[in-house]
Structure 1
Amino acid sequence: MAVAQRRGRRIMMTPAELDTFLTEQRTCRVATVSADGRPHVGALWFVWDGTSLWLYSITRSRRWAELRRDPRIAVVVDDGEEYGELRGAELSGTAVFVGEAPRTGEPCPELDVPERLFAAKNFGMDEMPHDGRHAWLKLTPDAVASWDFRKLAGLGGA
């Protein structure tokens, strides 16, 4: 995973911290670009497999249509209420469509791990339920920027 962060190195997450953070979090904000150049942002559940972010999106959504036309994507995962608790990561790159769309459960070895992780994390199940409305997007980030404002306490405060 490439790290494109220059500013904020003092509050940047280590690779291990980032991996733990992305594994624990559930919701992200996904940014896409419309045909006329306007950004669109929406929230989605996701799972992190240690290398890629897996997004389970409705195939009849604006997001899906925009990514079919232009697969560039940026995703923000963040957490915290108070300023000193804020932490997060921005991942950007190209969305890859994996499996059938919409997903009905046809065999797809590449989806075995993300579906197992997603089902356990979000549904408390061993197997992924398929509703015939969603399908998978995979983001293996080209660039990552992260922040953990909790580190500021050890640097003399904000």
Structure 2
Amino acid sequence: MTPAEVDEFLAEQRTCRVATTGPDGPHATPLWYAWHGGALWLTSVVRSQRWADLQRDPRIAVVVDAGTDYGELRGVELRGSVEVVGEVPRTGELVPELEGPEQLFADRYTGGTFGHDGRHAWLRLVPDKITSWDFRKI
């Protein structure tokens, strides 16, 4: 995919698969996300295996894919290290760089309103590497 196609694809899909590395090996979980400003924004429960893994080792791999039949398959893999943005857990303190991702997330998943539940916090992945595929082009 071209960079513009990657942006469009990540903006339209709803679920990603996040892989972290823990003391017992790999751990993979699905999450909702926001693609904003060239970064993948993830909100994670701070009392989760994923959060514990990323506090020990911030390296992450994320896959977003779509399609059922072979000729429809397409996707994007993003790799890099995450950083925490905002308070942990998130309670609603004003954090200007979270305004865009939170509104985008709210518009996509929660009817336009983002709630701070005191259980989640934000992670930002600015990918070091992006790999994409689109079998529709074959």
TM-score by length of 2: 0.97
Q: Which runs of 4+ in 1 moved over 4 A?
A: none
Letter in 2 for 1:34: G
1:60-99 per-residue CA deviation (whole Å, 9 max, x = no partner) reads 0100000001000000000111111111000000010011
Kindly provide the amino acid, as one letter, of the partner of residue 127 in structure 2.
P
| Residue in structure 2 matched with residue 64 of structure 1 by the alignment | 51
- Unmatched tracts of structure 2, length 5 or more: none
Amino acid at match of 2:119: R
Identity of aligned residues (%): 64
Among 112, 125, 138, the residue aligned to 2:124: 138
> What is the DSSP-based 3-state SS (H/G/I as helix, E as strand, rest coil) of the residue aligned with 1:97?
strand
- Pairing partner for 1:114 from 101, 119, 123: 101
CA–CA separation in structure 2 for the residues paired with 1:122 and 1:87? 23
The one-letter code of the counterpart of 1:18 is V
Superposition TM-score, scaled by structure 1 size: 0.85
Write the distance in 2 (CA, Å) between the matches of 1:88 and 1:43: 15
Count of residue correspondences: 138
**Structure 1 or 2: more strand by fraction:** 2
AA at the equivalent of 1:136: W
